[in-house]
Amino acid sequence: MSVTPNSSAIVTVQQHIMERQRRHPGATGQLSWLLSGIILATKIIESHVRRAGIVDVLGETGETNVQGESVQKLDILANECILRSLGYRGNVGIMASEEDDEPHIIKEAEEQARYIVLFDPLDGSSNIDVNISVGTIFSVLQRRPEVDRNEVMAHILQPGDRQVAAGYVVYSSSTVMAYTTGDGVHMFTLDPLIGAFVLTREDVVMPERGKMYSINEAYRSTFPEGVQRYLEWAKSDEENGYSLRYVGSLVADFHRTLLRGGVFLYPPTKSAPEGKLRLLYEANPLGFMAEQAGGAATDGRQRILDKQPKALHQRTPLILGSKEEVDRVMSFLNDSPDAKGA
């Protein structure tokens, strides 16, 4: 992990994106323009998160989303911020949100609008009332040139390895943005004095190992046997003893894992045999970032980025983090009676 070379120099996220763009002679600047829309939206969201409790943005709306979850007031606000910020960029043709039943087709977009943006507008929003970190996660794809423009779902349902960009923003004691365009992971902190995201870590490398695991152990008895055996091993003695670290906001748990190493697990359970996290809005973008930082991501059977989506709101198990730690979990899964009998 390298830090900004000259601590006195200020490099904003827009400057960084433009500099990276210059390394690719064929770049048109369209992706940079799209990312600037996401940056604008997250600044607006951050301002509302900071004022939660002062203005009327806390609590539930009384509605449920397509996931069957209670909708928070800030969910609606964050969703609208992103839709509006990207809807006028001209190069985004399709947007899909975890909060909405159907994708948004930008009819007014120019014919060459080739980008698709998938996003979780406010991950962990149920925690906002108790001042726990929340975040925004996004994924960017391109339309498939061989597919008719009207075949919307065929453009959206692409494996994660076709992402052209992904990132997240975590709203916490400081507001941090991390993104990748397939050229490493870069991290920025919002400086409230100048209203800009400033480069704090460039080419982030996730530690190859880390004695921390992140999982909701309340469901342990319903986890696959391989996961249960891994947990027993992880805290079996002082030599192997790992620390449990679990926030309950995916973006916050991933942010810690990215910087400190370890493994995050959200395995299938008896009540959610297909997993709980969303493939398109959560697993794919964070899996892309994990790999770009030298880590790994899997659903327990295959690489997350190889998984072919079948539905807009498809759920998936997820194991991601330091490569050695993910491999270790997989060794327990592959050696379990369930796997041998499959």
Query: Which H or E run contains 122?
Result: strand 115-123
Domains assigned to the chain:
2-202 (3.30.540.10), 212-341 (3.40.190.80)
Higher pLDDT, 70 or 214: 214
Cα 336 to Cα 86: distance, rounded to the nearest angstrom:
46
- Helical (H) or strand (E) element with 115: strand 115-123
C-alpha span between 95 and 83 (Å, rounded): 7
CA dihedral of 198, 204, 210, 212, whole degrees rounded to 10 = 40
Asked whether residue 20 carries a pLDDT value surpassing 60, the answer given is yes
Burial of 188 (0-12, 13-18, 19+ CB in 10 A): buried
pLDDT at 237 exceeding the cut of 80:
no
Share above pLDDT 90 across residues of the chain, in percent, rounded to a whole number: 72
CA distance 334 to 326: 12
Task: Please tell me the distance from the alpha carbon of residue 147 to that of residue 131, in angstroms, as a whole number.
Answer: 45
* Per-residue pLDDT at 186 exceeds 50: yes
Look over the chain and give the mean of its residue pLDDT values, rounded to a whole number.
Answer: 89
Query: Which two structure tokens, joined as six digits, stand for 278?
Result: 């969303």
Distance (Å, whole) CA 181 – CA 155 = 19
| Rounded Cα–Cα distance for residues 280 and 285 (Å) | 7
Q: Which tens digits make up the pLDDT trace of 73-121? A: 888 889 999 999 998 888 999 999 999 999 999 877 666 799 999 999 9
Which of 270, 279, 274 lies closest to 320, judged by CA?
A: 279
Question: Minimal CA–CA distance to 208: which of 306, 323, 128?
Answer: 323
Give yes or no for a contact between 189 and 301, defined as CB atoms under 8 angstroms apart.
no
Check residue 65 and give its pLDDT.
55
Tokens of 303: 């690489």
State the pLDDT at residue 107.
Answer: 76
pLDDT digits (tens, 9 = 90+) for 280-294: 999 999 999 999 999
Give me the pLDDT at residue 5, please. Answer: 47
In this predicted structure, what is the pLDDT of residue 318? Answer: 98
